[in-house]
Chain A
């Protein structure tokens, strides 16, 4: 188990290094460096040179890279030229809103997905099963950002029951959370369905039935419980995709989170914020993946053994 965790941790660190390096390369390849962007189009060549020297951009690339790695380790990403304050502060300030949104979406996805999955899985091949399976396939294919706009059109503009943008209150949370949960509802439903189908053929389900339990009791008491664990761990492993989706959904609903900050930072070439945000997202993904992996390995010895090979 220790070996397993150590291995996962090493991969996590490698991932952060990979992300940091990739962003470094992209920023260096981008037209216009930090100095040109910060000073705007009216700056003289001399001013730009001075700022470049101050930021250390005139040094050889290798040195820049090493000092950048050092900064990352100290969690220092420099100042955001747009906000005039440390980029990491700016990013951390937006972080809770993203956590709120992704948590809400996860809860919705698990509840809706479980219901759909059990409905489909309790009688494989039935009309209901095929209907639910087609429905979840459709859910998976829906472009989330477009669905978000359609929600705004229907619920905010036509029915005027929910606000279309902004954050803060619960009513603001509903539309973005539901939109973000759609692909995950589909995922959870599919996983639950196959889990339920598999569990239904187990001997203990036969026993439960022969004890005289009703079909509902068998389902809730024996089947669902046993198919729940893999669902929860897979949701933990999908957190990266969830955060990726949140970036787009936050922009649609002007949700004041990390994602909308990242998109506007990319659009404005605010490199410091881009770097801080990507590293924070990578950290979240890795920590949560690690947690999910550990839970999974605790529950299933086969995974531990697999890792050893």
Chain B
């Protein structure tokens, strides 16, 4: 499910009476469990596994998975300068979550605020915001991110900014269209008549109705932010070398692909599984919060 599917649907009304639950599927919990494991690994993994991103152990280069090293067993092998691949996967998870969540939070705040303002006030603010959305929709966001992250000073905040520049547009489009239809509801009129201020009407009577769809979109955007971050670090842009990331690890293993596949394969699998699970959750949320069912 893509973000356009969300946009196509009608605004959600007041909370619908619970629909007859479909039969429970125990398999449905799997993506949540896997994401939970990732979060756990990202949160406490770095405390359990020591890793020095700049250390080099020449004697322990390119060891296959399961080899014994000085500091224990390298379950996923070691890379070209003797660093533990498992540690890279764990530390990379943390980087992915920090950047992904930060990007989605920034995009969500900016997008919902601008979208709600555009949809509620109409006129000039709407025209300005809508044209900005049109411009950003036309140009591929990853290219903008490559140019911004590649040319500016390296740093995590630069990556977050680079990915947010184009990322808020989806939230703004979604909030704008829902706000436009919610604006016409009776309770919004009532609030207006009772003299509730503009910002009060917006935050109290309109924004709550955005929540479900915005959460669904945020999940999908989290997956794409994680992917884009990995792509940027893979290209060697944005993050400074001392911050471990999956993209960087994958790029680092390219030279040794023929002899030491594990350097590239394991971080890539970690990335793929995480993105698929977030995508599955996002898909399900989208289906729940938009009435369209296919």
A residues with a Cβ closer than 8 A to B are: 11-12, 14-15, 18-19, 22-23, 26-27, 29-31, 124, 137-138, 140-146, 149-150, 152-153, 157, 187, 190, 194, 197, 240-241, 243-245, 247-248, 251, 262-263, 266-267, 269, 271, 274, 278, 281-282, 285-286, 289
CA gap between A182 and B294 in the complex, in Å: 23
Is B258 close to A, CB under 8 A? yes
Q: Is the CB of B279 within 8 A of A141?
A: yes
Q: Is the CB of B139 within 8 A of A285?
A: yes
Q: Is the CB of A11 within 8 A of B144?
A: no
Q: Is the CB of B234 within 8 A of A248?
A: yes
**Majority SS at the chain B contact face:** helix
Is B30 close to A, CB under 8 A? no
Q: Is the CB of B265 within 8 A of A244?
A: no
Q: Is the CB of A197 within 8 A of B294?
A: yes
Q: Is the CB of B275 within 8 A of A143?
A: yes
Q: Is the CB of B272 within 8 A of A146?
A: yes
Is B40 close to A, CB under 8 A? no
B29 to chain A, nearest CB (A): 16
> Chain B: how many interface residues by the 8 Å CB criterion?
46
> A8: nearest residue on chain B (CB-CB)?
B134
- Tally inter-chain residue pairs, CB-CB below 8 A: 138
Q: Is the CB of A11 within 8 A of B257?
A: no
- Which of chain A's residues have a CB closer than 8 A to the CB of B142? 244-245, 247-248
B129 to chain A, nearest CB (A): 13
B window 246-275: CB within 8 A of A: 247, 250, 254, 257-258, 261, 264-265, 268, 271-272, 275
Partner of B150, one of A31, A140, A187, A267: A267
CA gap between A245 and B235 in the complex, in Å: 12
B window 268-294: CB within 8 A of A: 268, 271-272, 275-276, 279-280, 283, 294
Given contacts A23-B147, A143-B230, A282-B139, contact A11 B134 (CB under 8 A): yes
Q: Is the CB of B151 within 8 A of A26?
A: yes
Q: Is the CB of B279 within 8 A of A140?
A: yes
- Which of chain B's residues have a CB closer than 8 A to the CB of A285? 138-140
CA gap between A301 and B280 in the complex, in Å: 35
B residues with a Cβ closer than 8 A to A are: 2, 131-132, 134-136, 138-144, 146-148, 150-153, 165, 223, 227, 230-231, 234-237, 247, 250, 254, 257-258, 261, 264-265, 268, 271-272, 275-276, 279-280, 283, 294
Partner of B236, one of A150, A267, A271: A267
Q: Is the CB of B258 within 8 A of A289?
A: no
Q: Is the CB of A157 within 8 A of B257?
A: yes
Partner of B135, one of A14, A152, A243, A244: A14
B284 to chain A, nearest CB (A): 11
Closest A-B pairs by Cβ, 3 of them: A244-B140, A266-B150, A146-B268
B141 to chain A, nearest CB (A): 7
- Which of chain B's residues have a CB closer than 8 A to the CB of A187? 2
> B142: nearest residue on chain A (CB-CB)?
A244
Partner of A240, one of B138, B265, B283: B138
A293 to chain B, nearest CB (A): 11
Partner of A26, one of B147, B230, B250: B147
Q: Is the CB of A263 within 8 A of B146?
A: yes
- Which of chain A's residues have a CB closer than 8 A to the CB of B146? 247, 262-263, 266
Given contacts A138-B276, A244-B142, A263-B146, contact A14 B235 (CB under 8 A): no
- Which of chain B's residues have a CB closer than 8 A to the CB of A31? 152-153
> A290: nearest residue on chain B (CB-CB)?
B138
10 A-B pairs whose Cβ atoms sit less than 8 Å apart in the complex? A11-B131, A11-B138, A18-B139, A27-B151, A142-B272, A149-B264, A248-B231, A248-B235, A266-B146, A285-B138
- Which of chain A's residues have a CB closer than 8 A to the CB of B236? 267
Given contacts A149-B257, A240-B139, A247-B143, contact A263 B268 (CB under 8 A): no
Partner of B235, one of A241, A263, A271, A286: A263
- Which of chain B's residues have a CB closer than 8 A to the CB of A266? 146-147, 150-151, 237
- Which of chain A's residues have a CB closer than 8 A to the CB of B165? 22
CA gap between A200 and B170 in the complex, in Å: 31
B39 to chain A, nearest CB (A): 18
Q: Is the CB of B138 within 8 A of A149?
A: no
